[in-house]
Amino acid sequence: MPKISIIVLVYNEEEYVSTFLDSLINQTLDDIEIILIDDSSTDNSLNILLDYAKKYPNIKVYHNEKNIGQGASRNR
C-alpha cells in the first residue's frame, strides 16, 4: 500500500495537465500513488491522463461518463 495517495480532479485542463503531472512525478517522495479523475472533460485531457498512466504504474485514471462536480468525483 502506498504511503501517500494524491487525488486530482481534472476537467478541461489540456493546456496545463502535462506540466502538473510532470511536477507530481518528479517528487522526491517514494511510494506515492496518483489518482486522476477526469470529470467528463470535453478536450483532450482524458487522453493525456491515459498516456501518463501507461508510462507510470503508480498512476490510476478514472473517468466520469458525465460531469458530476468536484465533491462527487472525489468521493467516487
**Across all residues in the chain, what is the average pLDDT?**
93
Predicted confidence band of residue 69 (pLDDT cuts 50, 70, 90): confident
pLDDT digits (tens, 9 = 90+) for 25-49: 998 888 899 999 999 999 999 999 9
Q: Is 8 helix (H, G, I), strand (E, B) or coil?
A: strand
* pLDDT at residue 1 greater than cutoff 80: no
- Residue-level pLDDT at 26: 93
Identify which has the larger pLDDT, 71 or 6.
Answer: 6
In this structure, what CATH number is given to the domain that contains residue 50?
3.90.550.10
Q: Give the residue numbers spanning the domain of 71.
A: 4-75
Q: What pLDDT does residue 48 have? A: 98
Sign of CA dihedral 1, 3, 51, 12: positive
Number of domains within the chain: 1
